[in-house]
């Protein structure tokens, strides 16, 4: 007989508890969650039966992988979620998982797509087996990036479908659709988001139960994956022949909608988050016909309907005039096209509801300018940061070398450009410091010094160091190792504990591979080391090593909590 009976909710499961046993009645999941766009994407991928996420951190995409790393469902299902060394290794690993039949997600910021462009474009040629979604987060207005590039061009270039959600809910829903499409078309799917979509929260309704993961399944024609010209030509023909189907899918897509309006003088095409902004301008409904585009290739039929029906067409899109250029190029309709190219919308930078209102001639409501009492606070290296000690020592040494050039790289240490250090003379792309120092040295520059972070070195500095060693370039390389990828929030760094071995393996001589601890008390030793290595006319590597203050504090807290 049951003596006591009650219900319990534990880890998303509803249990019937008796004194004798625990019976699972059903799996219950929170149907509504408050999620960042990035988190909605991550949850959507998990619910679509993901087997692995492969990513290199980069704002505004980092939270996707971090969410999966913390997810109980991912743990339960053994979803791969360790950081990759760079975006290219991430893309290739995802492709390998897909060839084996399982679903993979690749995440990166927009400039990461340049790094993995080779496997990305060729993945469309080989095709996929298990679904692949390549998630790229663009950064219009360059809040934390060196350029404003628009990833939709890459989707068109690779001839694959691109999705661009206009809300967090759509971002969640699209993941499942994207995997379905990828497996149906045997093509990777590009999903593009921008900063505000990635980093703002909304309530998202999630599925009741996640889809099963795919089983290991090696069922593709292996010759597809061998891009020898004879095979690649066939695949190129197949993918080219798929293009009309992709376009028809865009016309029929639930994510591309044509909503008629009573005032046909103006039609508005709005894509991705710009559609969200547009709707914000018209809480009681838009009087003009609106074409929402969230799936590419562009749905030409729907666009033609608008250019035929309307006198003027305004195109609102985040990023470059990707749709606008195509509409101008291919649509013979009667409409006058307006947008970023004609000055109604700003040519660069993020959109927001106000700039759309301005383009529509609507009144802009109250503006909230930053309070004048708030003093500007330029970014700075944290107090106690090891990079500070490196720059302090380097600057003192370079007082004796007024012609020295210091080639910088991307990470917290880029802040060494700013006062008080003003210590670096370049910052272009990840890994460029070493190769640029080498090129400068080839040109006759001396001293040529490169400063690079540990994560950036393994991301794409190692190959440049090999070039330098192979030519015995007269450069001094400083790998400022803070044991983490600090700038993006302190993710694990792929080379931790391996740097000396990597440098030796690349051919750096033991006599010119020096490790120092960047602390004020060691200043004399660090300065002596830098000075000596500048005067060695070959490749020398100095590794100042001390943990980032932020991750150190986090680790200490974790240790304390574990006691």
Ligand X SMILES: Cc1ncc(C[n+]2csc(CCOP(=O)(O)OP(=O)(O)O)c2C)c(N)n1
Residues of this chain that interact with ligand X (CB under 6 A) are: 56-58, 109, 111-112, 115, 410-413, 430, 453-456, 482, 484-488, 493
CB of 417 to ligand SF4, least distance (A): 13
Angle at 307 (CA atoms; ends 306, 311), nearest 5 degrees: 100
454 binds, among ligand SF4, ligand X, none (CB under 5 to 8 A by kind): ligand X
168: CB partners within 8 A, 6+ apart:
35, 36, 37, 40, 197, 200, 201, 202, 204
Residues 84 and 58: beta-carbon distance below 8 Å: no
Confirm or reject binding of residue 397 to ligand SF4 (CB under 6 A).
no
- Judged by CB under 6 A, the residue of 198, 246, 273, 548 near ligand SF4 is 548
> In 10 A of CB 255, how many CB atoms?
19
Task: Annotate 480-511 with b (16+ C-beta within 10 A) or e (fewer).
Answer: bbbbbbbbbebbebbbbeebbebbeebebeee
Is-contact 106 63, C-beta < 8 A? no
**Interface with ligand SF4 (CB under 6 A), residue from 270, 274, 306, 412:** 412
CB under 5 to 8 A by kind: which of ligand X, ligand SF4, none does 398 bind? none
Nearer to ligand X, 479 or 534 (CB): 479
Residue 73 binds ligand SF4, judged by CB under 6 A: no
Number of residues that bind ligand SF4 (CB under 6 A): 10
Handedness of CA 90, 95, 101, 106 (dihedral sign): positive
Q: CA 240, 245, 250, 253 torsion: positive or negative?
A: negative
* 351 touching ligand SF4, by CB under 6 A: no
Structure token pair of residue 73: 């469902």
Q: How far is the CB of 548 from ligand X (least distance, A)?
A: 6
Question: Is there a contact between 315 and 324 (Cβ–Cβ < 8 Å)?
Answer: yes
Task: State the sign of the Cα–Cα–Cα–Cα dihedral 490, 491, 497, 503.
Answer: negative
Closest approach of Cβ 22 to ligand X, in Å?
45
112 binds, among ligand SF4, ligand X, none (CB under 5 to 8 A by kind): ligand X
Identify which of residues 49 and 386 has a Cβ nearer to ligand X in the complex. 386
Which of 107, 21, 123 is CA-nearest to residue 57?
107
56 binds, among ligand SF4, ligand X, none (CB under 5 to 8 A by kind): ligand X
Site for ligand SF4 in 466-485 (CB under 6 A): 482
494 binds, among ligand X, ligand SF4, none (CB under 5 to 8 A by kind): none
Q: How far is the CB of 559 from ligand SF4 (least distance, A)?
A: 18
Binding test (CB under 6 A) with ligand SF4, winner from 46, 279, 385, 434: 385
Tokens of 373: 């009492």
Q: Distance (Å, rounded) from C-alpha 479 to C-alpha 516? A: 11
Residue 74 in the binding site for ligand SF4 (CB under 6 A): no
Taking CB under 6 A as the rule, does residue 390 contact ligand SF4? Answer: no
Q: Which residue number, 381 or 534, has a Cβ lying nearer to ligand SF4?
A: 381
Residues that bind ligand SF4 (CB under 6 A): 381-382, 385, 387, 412, 482, 486, 548-550
């Amino acid at each position: 007989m049951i003596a006591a009976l009650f219900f319990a909710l534990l880890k998303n499961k509803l249990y019937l508890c008796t004194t004798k046993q625990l019976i699972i009645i059903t799996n219950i999941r929170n149907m509504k969650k408050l999620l960042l766009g990035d988190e909605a994407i991550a949850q959507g991928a998990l619910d679509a039966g993901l087997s692995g996420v492969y990513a290199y951190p980069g704002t505004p995409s980092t939270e996707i992988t971090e969410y999966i790393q913390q997810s109980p469902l991912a743990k339960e299902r053994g979803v791969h979620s360790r950081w990759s060394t760079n975006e290219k290794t991430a893309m290739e690993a995802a492709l390998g998982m897909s060839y084996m039949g399982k679903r993979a997600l690749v995440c990166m910021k927009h400039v990461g797509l340049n790094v993995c462009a080779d496997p990305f474009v060729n993945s469309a040629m080989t095709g996929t087996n298990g679904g692949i979604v390549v998630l790229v987060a663009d950064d219009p207005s360059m809040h934390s990036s060196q350029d404003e590039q628009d990833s939709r061009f890459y989707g068109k270039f690779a001839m694959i479908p691109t999705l661009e959600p206009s809300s967090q809910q759509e971002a969640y829903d699209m993941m499942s659709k994207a995997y379905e499409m990828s497996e149906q078309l045997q093509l990777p799917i590009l999903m593009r988001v921008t900063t505000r979509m990635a980093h703002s929260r909304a309530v998202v309704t999630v599925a009741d139960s996640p889809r099963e993961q795919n089983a290991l399944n090696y069922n593709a024609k292996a010759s597809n994956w061998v891009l020898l010209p004879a095979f690649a030509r066939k695949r190129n023909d197949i993918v080219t022949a798929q293009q009309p189907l992709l376009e028809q899918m865009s016309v029929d897509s639930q994510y591309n909608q044509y909503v008629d309006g009573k005032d046909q003088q103006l039609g508005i095409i709005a894509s991705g988050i710009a559609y969200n902004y547009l709707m914000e301008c018209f809480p009681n409904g838009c009087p003009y016909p609106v074409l929402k585009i969230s799936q590419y290739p562009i749905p030409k039929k729907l666009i033609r309907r608008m250019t035929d029906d309307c006198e003027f067409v305004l195109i609102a899109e985040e990023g470059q005039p990707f749709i606008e250029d195509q509409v101008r190029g291919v649509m013979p309709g009667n409409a006058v096209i307006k947008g970023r190219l004609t000055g109604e919308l700003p040519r660069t930078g993020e959109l927001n509801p106000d700039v759309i209102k301005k383009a529509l001639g609507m009144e802009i409501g109250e503006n909230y300018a930053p309070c004048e009492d708030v003093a500007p606070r330029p970014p700075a290296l944290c107090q106690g940061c090891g990079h500070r000690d490196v720059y302090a020592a380097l600057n003192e040494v370079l007082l004796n070398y007024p012609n020295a050039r210091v080639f910088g790289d991307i990470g917290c240490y880029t802040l060494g450009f700013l006062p008080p250090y003003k210590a670096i003379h370049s910052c272009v792309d990840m890994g460029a410091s070493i190769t640029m120092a080498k090129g400068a040295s080839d040109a006759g520059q001396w001293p040529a010094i490169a400063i690079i972070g540990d994560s950036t070195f393994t991301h794409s500095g190692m190959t440049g160091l090999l070039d330098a060693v192979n030519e015995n370039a007269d450069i001094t390389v400083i790998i400022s190792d803070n044991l983490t990828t600090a700038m993006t929030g302190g993710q694990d760094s792929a080379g931790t504990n391996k740097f000396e071995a990597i440098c030796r393996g690349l051919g750096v001589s033991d006599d010119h591979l020096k490790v120092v601890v960047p602390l004020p008390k060691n200043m004399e030793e660090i300065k002596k080391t830098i000075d000596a290595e500048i005067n060695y006319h070959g490749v020398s590597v100095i590794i100042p090593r001390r943990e980032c203050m932020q991750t150190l504090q986090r680790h200490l807290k974790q240790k304390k909590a574990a006691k």
